[in-house]
Amino acid sequence: MTRAGADAGAGSWEDAPVEAVRVVVTDLQASPERIALEDRVRRALAIYPGSTFRNLLLDWGIGKVRAIPGVAEVTPELSPGSVGGVVVTVRVTFGPGVDGPQPPSFPYLFQDADSLLKLKFRSAGMVYANHDAWYGDPQAFVGANPLADAPSGEGWGTSLEGYTELGIQGIGPIAPSVYAYGSLSYVLSGTVGQELFTDEPRGFGGIEDAFAGIVTGKTWEDGSRLVVNLTAGRQPFQIADGMLIRLGAGNGFERAALQLNPRNAADNLFMAEARFNTTRLQVFQLDPDENDEIDTRTIIDGLNLDAGLGTATQFGLTYLNVPRSTYGYYTATAIGTRAGLNVLDGRFYWLPTVEGASGPYAKTEFAYQWNDENSFAMRAWGGYGEAGYTFAGLPWRPTVSYRLSSFSGDDPATATYERWDPLLSGGTPEEWVQGLNHYKMFQDTNITASRFQARLRPAARWEVVPQFWLFTAAETNNLGGSLAQLASRPLGYEVNLTAKYFPSRSVYMQAGIAATFPRAGVIDAIPSRLDPWISASALVRVAY
């Protein structure tokens, strides 16, 4: 599975944490009646802070809200939260003489108070340009990659990417308080022009979603809630903010659309999930949908526990085991595989600030990996600490933060293999793409990265995110990476800027630019002259 592309599909919000839920009754003055109606809408919507966002469940909840007598119109809005999640706003208009659910319109095929059948439609186009990709010397970084038959390099290289996904989704009752749901879709993707690895025009089609599930639950008089979910099939999956698992599918190469990353669904996910109030337990087996050319046949079994979801203090604990994989671990004298890998991960979030108010936050996560089933023992570690502050009273309501992340590298002087296995890490530069350009050369292993970031909101539907990155290597031995041997530990630094526009729930626009500069560890390891890597991109995405 290639991770050379950042997830330019940001803004879809699928699997993002819900930071806040706002209900706005637009045509009633403040009164006990309005408070009661807002509470009824919240209970019908059944989306709560700390939950994982699903478009299908939002659409289902909207149907329940529309079924409330007197509701004339329901308008959902999605916007970015202060710490990388999504804020769900539902605007409700009441009208005299309205006495039940209104007829469905696109993309809904059928909708009532308990059931939903809708079209799933996603389509996006992107222009992506690089100047001096791979620091102008692609041979040094991807020359040994047999899939890089005509990589971008010195000068400008520009490509156009696009994809369209069409499918059908639904949810409905099969017994009292028991609901069945599912999704089936097909995605077509294509690329023309000079992209990072090739200039060959490509197109590809395949099944994306193909999953089903059963969900049930109970709410007690004191407000306690239990929800149980069983699901299986092709679908996305993410743990926390994606340090361990974020990318369930490979993109690029024969599948095209390397930067847009249209494919997110794993080949298969079996999961049993139970949530009681703010505590959630997930037991799962994940089979990622890897590119055929580099399929490692990886299977991941896991258990994930989250506590305090939606509250100021949140804890998480994850255990993973890989019973099967051909993904390689390399030393100077031996080859091992990922099969037998164990991962123990703990995390803590302190998020005391109410959405829209000023205040601090902090997040940390640490994981330990071990594997004793290879010809050499493996012991590796990785983690991060992040602290930030939201200045809600300042223009553009900035949230500024600093994150220090580090993932171990292999010390060739020891018998133990210490290089961190990045598993399915990825996402956006606000998640685990560490630098728009730098990530393509040095991914989430054998690296220490400092990230200085600001989230700026110049208007309600705009977000601007500038970042500055400083990268160093944990070890000069980088066998298994794009450069097998580094001259020293300083790797590079990057400045990037991403602008996002959310004209509606269904339309998303993004533009970005990045400049990445090599440092001594890379400059002195390559005999040729290296130039800064500059990239720019712009995309439009429509999703229903």
Are residues 364 and 510 both part of a single domain?
yes
Give phi and psi for 511, each to the nearest 5.
-140, 145
Residues 446 and 484 in one domain: yes
Indicate the residue among 104, 133, 151 that finishes a domain. Answer: 104
Q: Indicate if 469 and 339 belong to the same structural domain.
A: yes
Q: Domains in the chain: how many in total? A: 2
pLDDT at 3 over 70: no
Q: Please give the torsion angle defined by the CA atoms of residues 286, 287, 288 and 291, in that order, rounded to the nearest 10 degrees.
A: 170
At residue 389, the pLDDT reads 96
One domain, residues 193 and 64: no
- Please give the sequence-ordered ranges of beta strands (E in DSSP) within 116-155, or none if there are none: 116-131
Express each pLDDT in 311-353 by its tens digit: 999 999 999 999 999 999 999 889 999 999 999 999 999 999 7
Tell me what the mean pLDDT of segment 449-465 comes to.
Answer: 95
| Residue 542, token pair as written in the block | 């429509």
Residues 341 and 401 in one domain: yes
Same domain, yes or no, for 45 and 82?
yes
Please give the share of the chain, as a percent, with pLDDT higher than 90. 73
Q: According to the 3-state scheme, what is the secondary structure of 270-319?
A: EEEEEEECCEEEEEEEEECECCHHHCCCCEEEEEEEEECCCCCEEEEEEE
Report pLDDT digits (tens) over 141-178: 998 888 888 999 999 999 999 999 999 999 999 999 99
Establish if 11 belongs to a structural domain.
Answer: no
> Does 447 share its domain with 478?
yes
In a domain, 341, yes or no: yes
In a domain, 143, yes or no: yes
Q: Is residue 219 part of a domain?
A: yes
pLDDT at 293: 87
Q: Is residue 3 situated within a structural domain?
A: no
Please indicate, yes or no, if residue 4 is contained in any of the structural domains.
no
Whether 101 and 60 have beta carbons less than 8 Å apart is answered as: no
Distances (CA, A) of 427 to 322, 328, 419: 22, 23, 21
Mark whether 128 and 95 lie in a shared domain: no
pTM of the predicted structure, to 2 decimals = 0.93
Distance CA 32, CA 39 (A): 11
Q: Are residues 68 and 161 in the same domain?
A: no
Same domain, 79 and 122: no
At residue 107, what are phi and psi to the nearest 5 degrees? -95, 15
The domain spanning residue 302 has which CATH number? 2.40.160.100
What pLDDT score was predicted for residue 2?
44
Nearest 5°: phi and psi at 252?
80, -170
Q: Are 503 and 461 within 8 A, CB to CB?
A: yes
What is the arithmetic mean of pLDDT over 215-231?
A: 92
CATH of the domain at 56: 3.10.20.310
Span 239-264, mean pLDDT?
93
Residue 69 belongs to what domain range?
A: 19-104
| Residue that terminates a domain, selected from 52, 82, 104 | 104
The count of other CB atoms within 10 Å of the CB of residue 279 is: 13
Shared-domain flag, residues 91 and 123: no
Co-location of 225 and 327 in the same domain: yes
